[in-house]
């Protein structure tokens, strides 16, 4: 019986040692692989961030190019083309034939100043149309009614 107990104790101890040994080796493998995995994930994240920044820069560059081109067009275009007066050779200002050159320029400038406020621009156009109708009536002239987007582009 003593021999059997001794053999059982030795076997139990060997099994316990084997399981502790396997546990320790598993931890070493995880610990050794973890920094490599972490470094790989960090490299991937840096690459992703770099690509995202490049994409953002490309998008901003396109918008900046469009703004620059638009500004150059306004700066270098003939006066009648700057504010849309001559589209296909036709006048775009309602009642422009009843206005002086100075009045047309002043109206174009007012439209330009209200570009960012559609309500103010709509109000300005309505006032202008009413003034032109009154002026046409006074001079006995018939004006063609403007289309919805025909008054000024």
Average pLDDT over residues 24-42: 69
What is the pLDDT, as a whole number, of residue 42?
86
Copy the structure tokens of residue 132: 């032109």
Least confident of 40-44, 58-62, 106-110, 142-146: 58-62
Crossing angle (nearest 10°) for helices 118-139 and 101-113: 160
How far, in Å, CA of 28 to CA of 129, rounded?
A: 85
CB 128 within 8 A of CB 151: yes
Copy the structure tokens of residue 6: 């001794």
Q: Is the pTM of this model over 0.75?
A: no
What is the pLDDT, as a whole number, of residue 152?
47
Say what percent of the chain tops pLDDT 70.
Answer: 72
CB 85 within 8 A of CB 113: no
């Amino acid at each position: 019986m003593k021999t059997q107990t001794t053999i059982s104790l030795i076997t139990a101890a060997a099994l316990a040692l084997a399981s502790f040994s396997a546990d320790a080796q598993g931890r070493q493998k995880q610990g050794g692989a973890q920094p490599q995995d972490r470094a790989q994930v960090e490299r991937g994240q840096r690459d992703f961030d770099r690509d995202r920044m490049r994409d953002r820069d490309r998008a901003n560059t396109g918008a900046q190019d469009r703004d620059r081109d638009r500004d150059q067009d306004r700066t270098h275009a003939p006066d009648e083309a700057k504010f849309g007066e001559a589209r296909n050779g036709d006048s775009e200002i309602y009642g422009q034939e009843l206005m002086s050159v100075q009045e047309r320029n002043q109206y174009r400038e007012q439209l330009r100043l209200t570009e960012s406020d559609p309500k103010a621009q709509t109000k300005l156009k309505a006032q202008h149309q009413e003034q032109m109708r009154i002026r046409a009536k006074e001079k006995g002239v018939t004006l063609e009614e403007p289309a919805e987007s025909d008054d000024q582009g």
